[in-house]
Every structure is written in structure tokens, then in C-alpha cells.
Structure 1
Amino acid sequence: MLKFVYTFLLMLGAAWGPVAHAESVLFLNPGKTDEAFWISYSQFMQAAAKDLRIDLRILYSQRMPELTVAQARLALQGPDRPNYLVFVNEQYVAPQILRLAQGSGVKLFTVNASLTANQLSLLGERSDRLGSLVPNDEEGGYLMLKELIRQHPPVAPGQVIELLAFSGLKITPSSQLREQGMLRALAEHPEVRLRQVVYGGWSRGRAYEQAKLLFRRYPNVSLVWSANDEMAFGAMQAYSETGGVPGKDALFSGVNTSPAALQAMIDGRLSVLVGGHFTLGGWALVELHDVEMGVDLDQYGGRDRLIPVLQLIDKAHAKRLLAMGASPDYGVNFRRLSAKGRPTSYRYPFSLQTLMR
């Protein structure tokens, strides 16, 4: 594995090249190069970088935290260092990256999953850690189950609605938080019985194999909650093979605004879809560009912020987002979002509504 990591890094290092502008950003993308969510995440960042004239480089770690750390080591201790390193605290890699960054001169910014309270207390204050933008994952998990239950036909007194849940990874903060939100909604509905939570590792194939067993074990399940779209598709495939019709005989939910998920929402196969967090990397670049221009983020909402980007996507939203994805700039003027020269009452309008205007 280690040999593969360094071979992979050498190949990527050749593509890094000299920095073309003073303001350079490297994003360590934790996903795979064929993973719809992380591809869309990178595309939105590229649109922001082009508008803001930022020299952006993106490296994928293929869901291997050891590769993320190796990429960070090369970027932070090699000869061609970026001005800013943006990364995700996926599988809790942040402490290792912060240790590598000491004395490098590179400024750090975390997105999607930031440092935990325990990590922050252990690492202390760091002048090179600029801040973070994370989504409302707990609320997203909550909203998803609440909407599934709302859409389910009412049951007679004494009867129950059976639920299956597909979470991501036990050691991933976003997975943990979405699951907590699901459990909060469940506590508000005693008529719903959670049969089992399984960890599908964000994978369609793994969720499919799990769902084949679970639907045999629990044939009366009529609600299926999934922490991302890929696991929802795996569960839907397994359910279809039992003769059931997703969206009719059982209601399915998922997270992410991939083209496939948006189309499934439009077609009615997905009953509930939550999304919008693919934008966080692009919004982070707006803040980093402002930092470069001398803006103090503490005066405009704080350095570490939870952004309510996860929201319910209805069919009308899905159609607009599908059309928007075909535009290379997403129709957003990122420069106009800057806090530079604005009163301190200004707050960055980081939301899906900014895309929908």
C-alpha cells in the first residue's frame, strides 16, 4: 500500500508544476475520481477559482486517509508549496496534517468535516489555521427522516412503520452527525420502529449486498433512510429485486445532488433528497480570497462556521439544479459575494438560494 501511495504521489507531483499566481490553493479531495459527489464538489470549486482568479490544484485521495496525509506531506514540505491548503477532516486526518504544516508557511482551511472539540483542545490555537466551513449534517439527517415520515400513509393505532437506515462510516463525522439527526427525528415518532442501522461505507455495492439480506429479514420495511445517494441506489436496486417499487411500496431517501439523484427525485423513485453541501469548497475559496485581500473573517460571522447548506430538494429544485450543472460557472458571480469593503453586519450568503437566483 505504501509503495502505491508514493508512486501515485510522484505522478501527481509532476502535474503540480510551478505556481502561476501568488494566490495558490491546493484542495485535498478525500473522494474517488469517479465519485459523483466529490466530482461535483471539485467542479464548483473550479468555477469559483476561475471567477476569483485563484490558482487551484485538486488531488484526490481515493478514500484512502493515508494517501491524504502523504499528499499533505509533499505539499507542505516539498519545494512548491501552495499559499493555502484546503482539506477535509475525513477519518480524523486533521491532527496529522496540522503537525506537518508547522513551520511550512502554508495557511490551512478545513471544509465539510472540521476538527473535533477534542482535537482543538489538544492542538491549541494555531495562527496558520484560518478557519472552517461545515454543513448542517445533523439537521440534514433529521430533515430527511421527518420528510419520509410525513410522506408515509398514516397507520392505524397500535401499528408501526418499519424503517431501515444506511449510515456511512462509523469514523466519519458527517456520517455520525447525519445518523444522530435521524435518531432525533425517530425519537419524535413512536409509531416508527427502526429495525436496523448498517454502515454501507458510502458504497452502492456494499449497501446493495446489505439490503438484499435486510429486506429478506424485514419484509415489512416501508421507509429506507440513507446517508448518501449511492447507498440509496444500492438499497433501491435490492428492493426492486424483491418485486417492490421504490417510491410506491417503500419510500427511499438520500443525500447529494448528483445528476442521478436529481433525476431519481424527478422520477419519483427517490421520495426525499437532501443536498447542497457540494458548494462548501467554492464558498471557502471566497473566504480565502478575502483573507488574501486583508479581510478579517472574525468580523463577518467568525472563522469557524456551520453553514445550513443541506436542505430538502423538491422536484422543482431538482430540475433547476440539473440544468445549472450544465453551466461551467453555475450562474454564480463569486466576486460579488466578497466581504471586502462591506459593513461588519454583512454575512456571506452561502446557500443554495444563492445558486437559485
Structure 2
Amino acid sequence: MNALFRVITLLLVSIGTCFAHPGTIHITFISPNPDDQDFWGITHNFARASAKDLNIDLDIVYSATNRYAYLKNVRQACASIDKPDYLVAVFHRAIAEDILFIAEECQIPIFMVNAGIPKEDKATIGNIRENYKFFIGHMAPSEHFAGYLLGKQLIKSARDKSLSDTIEIVGISGRRDGPEALARNEGLKQAAREQNVLLHQIVFADWSGDKAGKQAAELIKRYPNVSIIWAASDHMSINVKNTIDRVGSSDKVITGGIDWTKDGINAVRSGLLEASVGGHFAELGFTMVLLYDHYHGIDFISEYPSTIYSEMHLLSRENIAQHYDFITNQDWEKVDFTRFSKAFNPDIKQYDSSFDNLNQ
């Protein structure tokens, strides 16, 4: 790690104080996107409802998509005079260790969410609380499984619709440096291998709907017999579907996405998309529960000594009616988040953050 970077970090940290908010828990989340980004908007609002129930002062800091701008926000949060009790952040490639180093130097417990540890950093980061003792927890979606689940469902749908004798697929993914996008891609590849279908190519659209739509048009030209365009997000998938309709391929090409955005779920219900995989919007909200308990002396490490993999679920036309109202209304204020906490409920033996338990 750059020596100058370490010096700057230590100087910034020394500016802050070691005092947290009296009488309440102060948590800062460094978000990679603002509220108007579909998935992150749901994630933030769910977490706000959880924090409110648990009397947590949750500060969400929005970052630009540039990872170094993200790192700057992490550094500023740690150097703040009003330093948080806990920091929550998202792993990015090339700065994963830098994020943990900052938390270590300012001695703020940090909990990572939403993305796995980048492959190239796993050896040096090690296990939770091993090489970085303030790295107290990690929750990430089963991204590989999400990509696999979507790919398998799209292949099934293509076969059910008899779109082609030979199923051909192309994929449109997120960022090249995003561990979540790369893991979803691997899931698609596994589904294609298992189902013995032809996966031509996976391209990267940087999570941009407009770029995904343009790429879809080029891919349909390049592979005229393609019957599935797999997309790594609902937002991109909807734009892909618009392109499919515009070029006159709606009777032979299908698509689906990941994230369970409101638009994505409505698109599944209306038949525009074949499926959406999601549920991981709840991660940040359940992290609030774990940190609340940790603050009150109940350490989740005994139950979760390693990464917590949040469940991913498939919504398709077959089961959309069962969950539609709960997911699209997004009335998280009706959820009593204290019922998930061991501090509030000493009889709880094991945490249950499953979607089925949430939707009760």
C-alpha cells in the first residue's frame, strides 16, 4: 500500500475525536449510489426503517461511481469530529484493503455489505477479525447463485416457449472491476454449461440502462439466432427489453434481470421480463440489527464467524402474485425490526433474516 496514502490517512484520523454520540448508536454507511438509483433507493429506505426501530442514528453518505471518490468518503467519515460508532461500506476492487486500513487506523469497527471480497485481496485480507481486527463482519449476496438462478430460469422459459431448437445466450453485465458483476457472470456460465446451451459472449455496460440497450441492439445483429439476453440488473434488463421490441425481436428473444427493483417486479408482473432475482436489498437493514446487538454486548461472531451470504430468490410469472404487494408497496414502516434482535428478544437462538421471515 502506498506509504504517502498511509501518512495522509493517519493525519486525517488524528483530526477526529474518539467520542461517539451519547445515548444512541451512530452508524455511517458509505453508499456507492444515491437514492434515485433503483436498487440502492430500496436498500437505503429499508435500512432507514430498521435504524428507526432500533434507535440508530444512520447517516448515509453518497459516493460517485469512481472508486477513489468512494475511498475519499470513507476517509472523511473516519476523520470526522463526529466519528461514528460503526462504519458500513462496500468492497471495491483495487481499494478493498485501503477501506479496511482506514477503519483500522481510526479504530472504528467496520462491517462490509453487498459485495464479496475481491479475489485478488482474499489472501491478504484473510478472515473476519484476523488481519484487520476492526473488520468485524461481512454480509454479501450469493451473487454467483443469483446469476445462475436467472440463467437457469431464462433457459427454461426459452424452452417452454420453443423459441429455438438450439438455445443461444448473450449476457450484459455491470462493471469489469465489480466483484458482484463478475460473480453473477460466473453463475450464468454455470447455468449455460449445465443446460448445454451456447453462451456466445458477456459484455459490460457499467450498470447503465442506456448502454445496455445499445449493446443489446449490436448483440442481436451479431448473433441473429440469439434467444436469451441475460442482464445483471433489472434496470439494464428493462432497457434491453425496449431494444428487443424496437428491433422487432419480441417474439424470439427474452430477457430478465437481478435486483428486485420496483420497475423490475412490475415488468415481471406485466410479462415484459421473464424473471427477476433479488432479496439482497435487505442486507443493510439486517446489518443494523447485528450492529445494534453488537453494541449491546451480543456478538454475532459466534453465529457468523465468516461471511454471511444473504439469500437470493427468483420471482417469475409463476410466483409474482404471492409477493407482489409486499415488495412493491415497500411500506417498511410496518415491519417491526426489533423482533429480529437478540438484544430485544433474549429467547432468539439463531438470527433469521430470510425473506419468508421478513414477509410475515
TM-score calculated relative to the size of structure 2: 0.86
Shift, 1:80, TM fit: 1.5
Of the structure 1 ranges 93-102 and 200-209, higher mean CA displacement relative to structure 2 is found in: 93-102
For the residue of structure 1 that corresponds to 2:324, the secondary structure is helix
CA 1:111–1:225 in structure 2 vs 1: closer, same or farther (change >3 Å)?
A: same
Question: Which residue of the partner structure matches residue 48 of structure 2?
Answer: 46
State yes or no: 1:304 paired with 2:307: yes
Is the CA contact (8 Å cut-off) linking 1:332 and 1:354 kept in structure 2?
no
Of the structure 1 ranges 113-122 and 144-153, higher mean CA displacement relative to structure 2 is found in: 113-122
Percent identity of the aligned residues?
Answer: 29
The one-letter code sitting in structure 1 at the alignment partner of 2:280 is H
Question: Which residue of the partner structure matches residue 241 of structure 1?
Answer: 246
Match runs of 1:88-103 below 5 Å: 88-103=90-105
Shift, 1:334, TM fit: 1.2
Is the CA contact (8 Å cut-off) linking 2:96 and 2:117 kept in structure 1?
yes
Question: Which residue of the partner structure matches residue 218 of structure 1?
Answer: 223
For these two proteins, the number of residue pairs brought into alignment is: 332
Shift, 1:144, TM fit: 0.7
Mapped to 1, the partners of 2:294 and 2:54 lie a distance apart of 13
State yes or no: 1:131 paired with 2:133: no
CA 1:112–1:215 in structure 2 vs 1: closer, same or farther (change >3 Å)?
A: same
Is the CA contact (8 Å cut-off) linking 1:320 and 1:356 kept in structure 2?
no
The one-letter code sitting in structure 1 at the alignment partner of 2:82 is D
CA displacement 1:261-281 (0-9 Å, x = unmatched): 111010011001101111100
CA displacement 1:168-194 (0-9 Å, x = unmatched): 11211111111111111111122x211
State yes or no: 1:208 paired with 2:213: yes
Mapped to 1, the partners of 2:323 and 2:169 lie a distance apart of 25
Shift, 1:25, TM fit: 0.3
Mapped to 1, the partners of 2:293 and 2:95 lie a distance apart of 26
Which blocks of at least 5 consecutive residues in structure 1 are unaligned? 1-17
Is the CA contact (8 Å cut-off) linking 1:262 and 1:318 kept in structure 2?
no
Is the CA contact (8 Å cut-off) linking 1:21 and 1:55 kept in structure 2?
no
Mapped to 1, the partners of 2:117 and 2:199 lie a distance apart of 31
Of the structure 1 ranges 99-108 and 113-122, higher mean CA displacement relative to structure 2 is found in: 113-122
Question: Which residue of the partner structure matches residue 26 of structure 1?
Answer: 28
Mapped to 2, the partners of 1:204 and 1:349 lie a distance apart of 34
Is the CA contact (8 Å cut-off) linking 1:301 and 1:347 kept in structure 2?
no
Is the CA contact (8 Å cut-off) linking 1:25 and 1:55 kept in structure 2?
yes
For the residue of structure 1 that corresponds to 2:352, the secondary structure is coil
Mapped to 2, the partners of 1:155 and 1:312 lie a distance apart of 19
Mapped to 2, the partners of 1:154 and 1:265 lie a distance apart of 17
Mapped to 2, the partners of 1:268 and 1:20 lie a distance apart of 51
Residue in structure 2 matching 1:182, options 188, 206, 211: 188
Question: Which residue of the partner structure matches residue 356 of structure 1?
Answer: 359
Shift, 1:135, TM fit: 0.9
The one-letter code sitting in structure 2 at the alignment partner of 1:233 is I
CA 1:92–1:324 in structure 2 vs 1: closer, same or farther (change >3 Å)?
A: farther
TM-score calculated relative to the size of structure 1: 0.87
Is the CA contact (8 Å cut-off) linking 1:77 and 1:100 kept in structure 2?
no
- Quote the RMSD (CA, aligned, Å): 2.2
Shift, 1:197, TM fit: 1.0
Question: Which residue of the partner structure matches residue 145 of structure 1?
Answer: 151
State yes or no: 1:112 paired with 2:118: no
Question: Which residue of the partner structure matches residue 13 of structure 1?
Answer: none
Of the structure 1 ranges 310-319 and 193-202, higher mean CA displacement relative to structure 2 is found in: 310-319
CA 1:219–1:83 in structure 2 vs 1: closer, same or farther (change >3 Å)?
A: same
Residue in structure 2 matching 1:254, options 252, 257, 269: 257
CA 1:31–1:84 in structure 2 vs 1: closer, same or farther (change >3 Å)?
A: same
Mapped to 2, the partners of 1:260 and 1:210 lie a distance apart of 21
